[in-house]
Amino acid sequence: MKFTCEKLILQNAIIISSRATIAKSPIPLLEGLLIEAKDDSIDIVGYDLKTGIVTKIQAEVEKPGGIVINARLFCEIIRKMPGQYITISVNSGYVANIKSEVSEFEILGFPTSDYPELPVVDEQDKIEIGGAILKKMISQTNFAVSDNESRPIHTGALFETGDGELTIVAVDGYRLALRREPMDNTNVPELSFVVPGAALTEVERIITDDDSLVNLTLGSKHIVFKVDDTVLISRRLEGEFLNYKNSVPVQSKYKITTDKDDFISAVERVSLIISDKMKSPVKCIFEDGIVKLFSASALGKASDECIIGGDGEGLEIGFNDKYLVEALKAAPADKITIELNSGVTPCVISPADDSNSFLYMILPVRLKAEGI
């Protein structure tokens, strides 16, 4: 194998595909990138047996072929190379020669025949959505994906299509995040599937151009995201996802409106004395036109206020500060509605304009009898 290509293009492709490699593995090949040269392009593949990322770049290919090279070492070498162009050649003993201007490396690789094959996806359905929209939807829901492996289905986000809309839902047992956006193609069939949160994190990183279109190909066991010249293949998660429609309260006793940024600022201020070691809730008292916030820990006490619209009649409710701030920051609106029933039932955050573009639900933290 021998090819020449631009350093920056190669470096970016390595960084993207390396995210699907394993930093330390008993199987050395899983720490490596598969480099395949064919015709006038190079495929750079990372695969951790769960998620695979293939990035295609243009190159001058003198001799087709392939090799598997340690991802970390390969990335560092290319990053520190001095020139604009890189030439890589591989001999019959799988020694890769990497050269740019006066710099030259020789590193031992592995044959491509030993590298695990990416799964073949049996195409069943296809969806196309704008990259900018999908990127936002992932960032505004993926924080609520569970990391508890005892319920594997909730370590991913639910994708649903129907009525010309795409809905993404994530839950972790303490909160729920939902985002909904219309799709350009209103003829998309009704679909429901769950994508691992780790794979969605990589999809979000891959989408860099706001004008990109993302093509989703759904198979029986896998899903493929194609963004420009990069393809991500992930297994689908199987199981029964939470029936979120039945989990969200249908009616609320109190409907409060407020400026999102003002509320975030107040919560963040009273959270300054809360730490991971000294965890305590943020106590909110919703009164007429104002919400009072309190916190207390071994470091001291804090209090603050925020102007609201509506009257909570003195309702007291406690929240995990991190969960509350993450939901508020994810909400794509300046004005929000906070719906409450009691101090022990879920809080629902939605747009103040009554649209259905997002919904965040947070379970409260039970306050101690003596209060804060």
| Domain CATH number, residue 306 | 3.10.150.10
Which two tokens mark 227? 């963004």
Contact indicator for 338, 258 with CB cutoff of 8 Å:
yes
Instruction: Kindly report the average pLDDT of the chain as a whole number.
Output: 94
In the predicted structure, residue 4 carries a pLDDT above the cut 80: yes
Out of 93, 114, 135, pick the residue that ends a domain: 114
Chain CA centroid to CA 316, Å? 33
Closest CA to 234 of 245, 224, 249: 224
CB neighbour list of residue 322: distance below 8 Å, 6 or more residues apart? none
Closest CA to 90 of 58, 61, 52, 116: 61
In the predicted structure, residue 40 carries a pLDDT above the cut 90: yes
In the predicted structure, residue 370 carries a pLDDT above the cut 60: no
- Choose the weakest-confidence range: 6-15, 65-74, 275-284: 275-284
User: What distance in Å separates the CA atoms of residue 147 and residue 344, rounded to the nearest whole number?
Assistant: 24
Mean pLDDT of 255-259: 97
pTM over 0.85? The answer is yes
In the predicted structure, residue 127 carries a pLDDT above the cut 70: yes
User: What distance in Å separates the CA atoms of residue 127 and residue 196, rounded to the nearest whole number?
Assistant: 18
Out of 244, 277, 301, pick the residue that ends a domain: 244
Say how many C-beta atoms besides its own lie within 10 A of residue 188's C-beta. Answer: 19
Please report the pLDDT score of residue 246 as a whole number: 94
Structure letter (DSSP) for residue 365 = B
In the predicted structure, residue 293 carries a pLDDT above the cut 90: yes
Number of domain units in the chain: 3
Please report the pLDDT score of residue 369 as a whole number: 58
Closest CA to 355 of 334, 327, 325: 334
Contact indicator for 194, 158 with CB cutoff of 8 Å:
yes
Say how many C-beta atoms besides its own lie within 10 A of residue 74's C-beta. Answer: 26
Q: Is residue 83 part of a domain?
A: yes
User: What distance in Å separates the CA atoms of residue 346 and residue 92, rounded to the nearest whole number?
Assistant: 64
- Could you tell me the maximum CA-CA distance found in the chain, to the nearest angstrom? 79
User: What distance in Å separates the CA atoms of residue 317 and residue 282, rounded to the nearest whole number?
Assistant: 8
262 and 223 in one domain? no
147 and 108 in one domain? no
Q: Is residue 22 part of a domain?
A: yes
E strand map for 265-299: 282-297
Q: Is residue 193 part of a domain?
A: yes
C-alpha neighbours within 13 Å on the C-beta side of residue 39: 5
Please report the pLDDT score of residue 183 as a whole number: 87
User: What distance in Å separates the CA atoms of residue 369 and residue 253, rounded to the nearest whole number?
Assistant: 23
Burial of 193: CB neighbours in 10 Å, binned 0-12, 13-18, 19+: buried
In the predicted structure, residue 372 carries a pLDDT above the cut 70: no
Sign, CA torsion 123/215/182/245: positive
- 260-270 vs 321-330: helix axis angle to the nearest 10? 160
Range of the domain at 231: 125-244
Out of 225, 244, 263, pick the residue that ends a domain: 244
Closest CA to 61 of 80, 95, 38: 38
138 and 189 in one domain? yes
Residue 244's identity, in one-letter code, is Y
Cα-Cα end-to-end distance for the chain: 69
261 and 237 in one domain? no
In the predicted structure, residue 275 carries a pLDDT above the cut 90: no
Sign, CA torsion 147/199/8/97: positive
Paired sense of beta strands 95-100 and 222-227, if any: unpaired
Closest CA to 327 of 290, 359, 369: 359
Which two tokens mark 269? 């201020």
133 and 96 in one domain? no
User: What distance in Å separates the CA atoms of residue 159 and residue 145, rounded to the nearest whole number?
Assistant: 13
